[in-house]
Amino acid sequence: MFLLVLPALFADVIAPYDPLEGRLSERLVPPFWLQGGSVDHLLGTDKQGRDILTRIIFGARISLAVSLCAIVIAGTIGTSLGLMAAYFGKWTDAIIMRVVDTFLSMPLILMALVTVAVFGPGFLTVIGVVAALLWIGYTRQVRGEALSIKQLDFVARAKVAGASNVRIMFRHILPNVVNTIIVLATLEVGAVILLESTLSFLGAGIPRPHPSWGVMVADGRDHIIAAWWIAFFPGLAIMTVVLSANMLGDWLRDHLDPKLRQV
């Protein structure tokens, strides 16, 4: 995760070059350990002479920003709807879950492409599309746990004491599902980066010339034989961060679950 967080926070300080500026005289320079490479460009340059390492570092900032914004928005909406569905039940639960089923029946990538085609590619559009696709998981997970928690005695005592529905949901039930939300949010980091990279690769995400990892992979697909490093290193960054996010989520699940921790 340090490969994502630290470069994103200090990109302006540690990046050796401007991510948007290139020199055609230095185009397609290989990594420094290959013949023709240079220590001035450790991971080589692309077809416009832009430094690959610099663009990967600034691409981490975009990936982190998209992930945080989309997960916060999706988590807030999904958790609230899940609590409402579980607590009120009946027609409230039926309406919310039918909406969830409707979203689950749609092809996600196709829906994302259509949305981007309507509103145009951009940073805010990608965040909105990703958040619209992620809230479903939070709603289903929170609803499933809240259904059992609302049957416990402390919830009944809160009702007898005259606590409002909103207070019971967010003061008594929500703290008991926070662990699950944290684990799910951690696991979603990898999914968000993959989705954002996929949209950018297809030309429906972060617009050029911004250094998104997906855009960098797309730029390198036409040079995969002669200049493999253009697509390889951004793809390696995606794989490393997604793998580390999944491992962190698994660790948090084991650490926050008392039963698994005892085992």
- pLDDT tens digits, residue range 26-66? 888 888 888 888 888 888 888 888 888 888 888 888 888 88
261 pLDDT tier (thresholds 50, 70, 90): low
User: Above pLDDT 70, what percent of the chain?
Assistant: 97
- Give CA–CA dist 74/27, Å, rounded: 41
Task: Say what the pTM is.
Answer: 0.82
Which of the residue ranges 73-77, 130-134, 212-216 has the most confident prediction, judged by mean pLDDT?
73-77
Averaged pLDDT for residues 3-21: 81
- What pLDDT is attached to residue 262? 56
Distances (CA, A) of 226 to 5, 40, 46, 223, 230: 32, 20, 11, 5, 10
Q: Give the per-residue pLDDT at 257.
A: 65
**What integer pLDDT is reported at residue 263 of this predicted model?**
54
Taking the C-alpha atoms of residue 198 and residue 212, their distance in angstroms, rounded to an integer, is 10
Residue 10 has pLDDT above 80, yes or no: yes
What is the mean predicted confidence (pLDDT) over 97-106?
86
Q: What is the pLDDT of residue 73?
A: 92
Question: Looking at this protein, which amino acid is placed at residue 256?
Answer: L
Q: What is the pLDDT of residue 77?
A: 92
Residues above pLDDT 90, as percent of the chain: 5
Q: Is the pLDDT of residue 3 over 80?
A: no
Instruction: Find the Cα–Cα–Cα–Cα dihedral 183, 184, 187, 188, rounded to 10°.
Output: -150
- Four-CA torsion 132, 138, 141, 147, nearest 10 degrees: -100
| Span 257-263, average pLDDT | 58
**What is the spatial distance between Cα 159 and Cα 105, in angstroms, rounded to a whole number?**
37
Q: Note whether 205 and 212 are within 8 A (CB).
A: yes
| Residue 128: per-residue pLDDT | 86
Q: Give the model confidence (pLDDT) of 203-250 as tens digits.
A: 777 777 788 888 888 888 888 888 888 889 888 888 888 888 888 877
Supply the mean pLDDT for the chain.
83
Any alpha helices (H) in the chain, and if so which ranges? 2-9, 11-14, 52-88, 90-104, 108-119, 123-149, 153-160, 165-167, 178-201, 213-220, 229-256, 258-262
